[in-house]
């Protein structure tokens, strides 16, 4: 388990008040009873933790814990260096 996976699982576990070891990459949001409000709450924590911004259209496609972890990897790889000014 890499660090991103570990931290994503910790965020989700804390949000739902369940043990982290009850969650793996294949766990679905449906199984965790994650509703739309939970989803934006978890997304916010993930964004704050990894200093990324999850696009609105990506938010709707997240169905599993693995989707979140893969999305974080992808966004971090595409993230511009911190010293590049944005328009």
Site of interaction with another protein (CB under 8 A): 15-17, 33, 35, 37-38, 40-41, 43-44, 47-48
The least distance separating another protein from the CB of residue 69, rounded to whole angstroms, comes to 20
Q: Which is nearer to another protein, 15 or 64 (CB)?
A: 15
The least distance separating another protein from the CB of residue 2, rounded to whole angstroms, comes to 26
Nearest to 43 by CA among 27, 56, 24, 28: 56
16, 59, 75, 81, 87 from 4: Cα distances, Å: 18, 18, 12, 19, 29
């Amino acid at each position: 388990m890499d660090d991103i996976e570990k931290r994503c699982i910790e965020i989700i576990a804390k949000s739902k008040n369940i043990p982290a070891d009850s969650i793996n990459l294949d766990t679905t949001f449906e199984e965790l009873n994650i509703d739309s409000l939970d989803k934006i709450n978890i997304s916010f924590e993930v964004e704050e933790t990894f200093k990324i911004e999850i696009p609105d259209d990506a938010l709707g496609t997240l169905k599993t814990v693995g989707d979140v972890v893969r999305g974080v990897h992808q966004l971090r790889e595409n993230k511009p260096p911190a010293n590049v000014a944005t328009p």
